[in-house]
Chains A and B, each alone.
Chain A
Amino acid sequence: MNTGHPKTPTDKPAAGSNVAVCASNVTMDFSGFKAVNNASFELEAGKFLTILGPSGSGKTTLLQMIAGFLTPTSGEITINGKSVDAAPPHRRSIGMVFQKLALFPHMTAAQNVAFPLKMRRFNPKTIPNRVAQFLDLVKLGDYGARRVNELSGGQQQRVAIARALVFEPELLLLDEPLAALDVKLREEMQLEFRRIQHELGVTTINVTHDQREALVVSDDIIVMDSGKIQQQARPVEMYRAPDNPFVAGFLGMSSFLRGTACAGGLVVEGQRVAGTASAAIADGAPVCGAIRAEQIRIAASEAQLGDCDTRLSGVVRDAIFEGERQLYVVALNTAGEAEIRVYHHDPLTFGLFEIGAPVVLGWNTSDMKIFADGGAE
C-alpha cells in the first residue's frame, strides 16, 4: 500500500517546516488484532486534517492514541516535536470534542467551559473573561448560565467546542461529534468548525465516516481502511487522483470493472476498455478500473453523446431520482454485463430513460483510472 505520504509534491510541506503532529509507524495491537497497523503521517501546524474511514477502519483507535487514552503497541507520536507516548491525557495539551459530547450535566454551560481552566490552574481572575470570550466565539454569549440539559443539540455542540478550545490547546481532536445530528444541523456545524478553526488557527484532527464532511472541512484528508492508512492528500487531489480502488470507491460514487491489463486500458471478459494507469502495470496482470458516476454521459444514441472517446452500450437496470440529480444503474451489453452507475445532472431530461431502455454510455479515457487489483474495493 501507500506509505502515507501524499503523491503530488505540492501536497507535502517542505521538509523541516512546522510539523505539529507526527505519527511514525504507529501500531495498536489488541491481542492479535491490529486495529491500527503501521500508520505514519505528518500534519502541518494550523491545518485541519480529517481521518476518514468506514467503521472498524481504526480511525478512532488512532485518535485515542493521539489523545493519550491508548498507548501504541509500537511506534511513536510526537506533538510539536515532543514525544507524548509517556504522558497521560491530563498532561497533554489536547482539547477533545467527544462523540457524545460528554458535557458535565451537573454544571452550567459556563461552568463546563471554566472546568479545564480550573483543572489546568489558570489564574482565577482571568477565568470569567476567558470563558465569556470563548462562549462568544461559539455564539453562546447569552447562554452561559443555562444548564447543559436546557440547551439544544446544536448549542450543546458549541459548548463542547468552547470547552475543548478555551485553554488554547496545542491540538484539537474531534471524535465524530457531528455523527448524531440531523443533516441540516450537521452541515451548519461543519461550517462552524471550519470558521472557528480558521479564526483560532488551531491544529485540528477530525475523525469521521462522512466523506462529504471530510471534503467540506479539511485541508488534508487521510483515508483509512482495515487499520492502514490508504492515502493522505488534499481533498481535491484525493478526489481527482485516488491512490487505489478503496479510496476511489469510498470518496464519491465509483463503478468498477475487473479484468486484465493491456496497453492503454484493460480487457474485461473479452471487451477492451480504454483507461489510464497512474503507475506502470505489466500486460495481463489483474487490474481494476474505476470511473466516477458524474464523469459518464448517458444518451439514447451515440450521435447524442457528444465528445467522448469511450462508448459502450447497455440497458438501464434501475433509475433513481435523487432531487438534484438522477442516478442510473446501467448493465453493459459487453464486458460481462458489468453494472455502471451514472449521475445525470440535466434537470430538463430527468426521467428520460425507463428501466429496460437501451442506452449508450460515454466517457473520457483519462477518467477511467486503472489500478493493480489488490482485491480491495
Chain B
Amino acid sequence: MTRTPDQDSFRYPLVWRLLDGLNTAADVLWPRKMARFTGWLLLAPALLLVGILVISLVQIAESSLHVLDRSTFMPGEDYTLANYATIADSATYARVLWRSLLGAALTVVFTLLLALPYSYVMVRTTSALTRKALLIVLFLPFFIGQVVRAYGILIVMGRSGAVNDILGLVGIEPLRLLFNFPAVVFGLVQYMLPFAVLMLAPALTAIPREIEAAANSLGANWIRTFRHIVIPMAKPGLVGAGLVVGTLSLTDFAMPAMLGGGSQDFIANAIYDQFFRTADQGLGSALALILVALGSVIVGVIIAFFGAGTLGMGGKK
C-alpha cells in the first residue's frame, strides 16, 4: 500500500488497530480451513467442566461401593451394595428424602405463586421508576448471599425478634417461628424468588400487550385473561423457573442447616454429615448418587412431559 502525505496524518482509532491485531492473531492460530471445528472449539471449556464432573461422579460411584471398616476407619476392599441397603433400610433416610422432596415441591409452588405476579407487574408497568424499584428490591437480598440472609431471618424471626415484637403488639404470645419445616421452606422461597422472577420476566415480555387487549375485547376480564392467556403462554418460563427452583431447593444445604436447626435435614445435610462428621465416605457417596439420580429423573420426566421447547431451547413446536 502506498501512502500519501495525507494518509500519514490520519490514524485509525486504537481499538480498531487492536481488533485488527487480534483478528490477524486468530487467523494464524486458527486458520480458515479449521472453520468446521470452530463449534467444538467453543464447546471445549464446557466439555472440560462436564468431563471433570463425570470423573468425580465415577469416583463417587466407586467409593459408594465400599463399606467403612469400623476398626481401621478406612474404606473396605470389597465391592458391596451394603451402603445402599443401609439407606433403604433406614427410616431416618427415608424421612430425609421425603422431607427434601416435599420441601422442594412446596418451595416451587410458593415461589412461582409469588414470582408470577411480581414478574408480571415488573414487565408490564409503564413507569420506569416502578420497574427500577422492583428490580432493586429483588436484587438487594440477591447480593447479600445465602448464609447472611439465613442469619437475618434467624434474627428477625427469633423469639425476641421483630416479627414476635409485632405479634406482641396485638397481644399474641411469642411464637416459635424457627427450627421447623415451615421456616426452612420460608427461607428457601425467600432465597429462590429472584431466580424465579428473572426466569419468568423474559417469558412474560414475549407476550405482546396486543394479545391481552384482544382477550379483553373478546370478553375476558383481567382474571380470565390471566388464566386463559397469560399463564398458558408463560408456560415455558414457568416450567424453566420451576426446574431451577426445584433442583436448587432439593440440593440446598444452608437453609435446612441454619433455619432447621439440625432437626430438618435435607439430603445435602445428610451427605455432609457422612463426609465430615462420621467420615463414612462410602455411605455419603451412596447418598450423593441417590440425590443425583433423583434430581436427574425428576428433570428428565418434566422435560419429557413438557418438551425441551418449553425451556425456550427450540425443540418441538
Q: Show the binding face of A for B, using Cβ within 8 Å.
A: 67-69, 88-90, 92, 94-96, 98-100, 102-106, 115-116, 119-120, 147, 149, 163-164, 167
Contact = CB atoms under 8 A, between A and B. Distances in A.
Interface string B208-247: 1011011111111100100011001101000000000000
Contacts of A92: 217
Contacts, number: 63
26 contacts: A69-B213, A69-B216, A88-B221, A89-B213, A89-B217, A90-B216, A90-B221, A94-B217, A95-B217, A95-B218, A96-B217, A100-B208, A102-B208, A104-B211, A105-B233, A106-B233, A106-B235, A115-B218, A115-B228, A116-B219, A119-B215, A119-B220, A119-B224, A119-B228, A147-B317, A149-B317
Given A95-B218, A116-B219, A119-B219, 19 more contacts: A69-B216, A69-B217, A89-B213, A90-B217, A90-B221, A98-B210, A98-B213, A102-B211, A102-B213, A102-B214, A103-B214, A104-B211, A104-B215, A104-B233, A115-B220, A120-B219, A147-B317, A167-B218, A167-B219
Of listed A102, A103, A116, A167, residue having the most chain B CB within 10 A: A102
B214 A98 contact: yes
Contact of A88 (B210, B216, B232, B317): B216
A163 B215 CA distance: 11
Contacts of B229: 104
Contacts of A104: 211, 214-215, 229, 233
Interface residues of B, number: 19
A164 B228 CA distance: 17
Nearest to A166: B218
A67 B218 CA distance: 11
Nearest to A97: B214
Q: Which 8 A-B pairs have the closest CB atoms?
A: A102-B214, A119-B219, A116-B218, A120-B219, A89-B216, A102-B210, A119-B220, A96-B217
A99 B210 contact: yes
Nearest to B210: A102
Given A104-B211, A106-B233, A119-B224, A67 B217 contact: yes
B222 to A, nearest CB: 9
Nearest to B221: A90
A193 to B, nearest CB: 18
B233 A119 contact: no
Contacts of A90: 216-221
A102 B217 CA distance: 11
Contacts of B217: 67-69, 89-90, 92, 94-96
A102 B233 CA distance: 13
B213 to A, nearest CB: 6
A120 B215 CA distance: 11
Contacts of B220: 90, 115, 119
Nearest to A175: B210
Nearest to B317: A149
Contacts of B213: 69, 89, 98, 102
Given A106-B232, A106-B233, A149-B317, A119 B218 contact: yes
Nearest to A173: B217
Contacts of B235: 106
Nearest to B209: A102
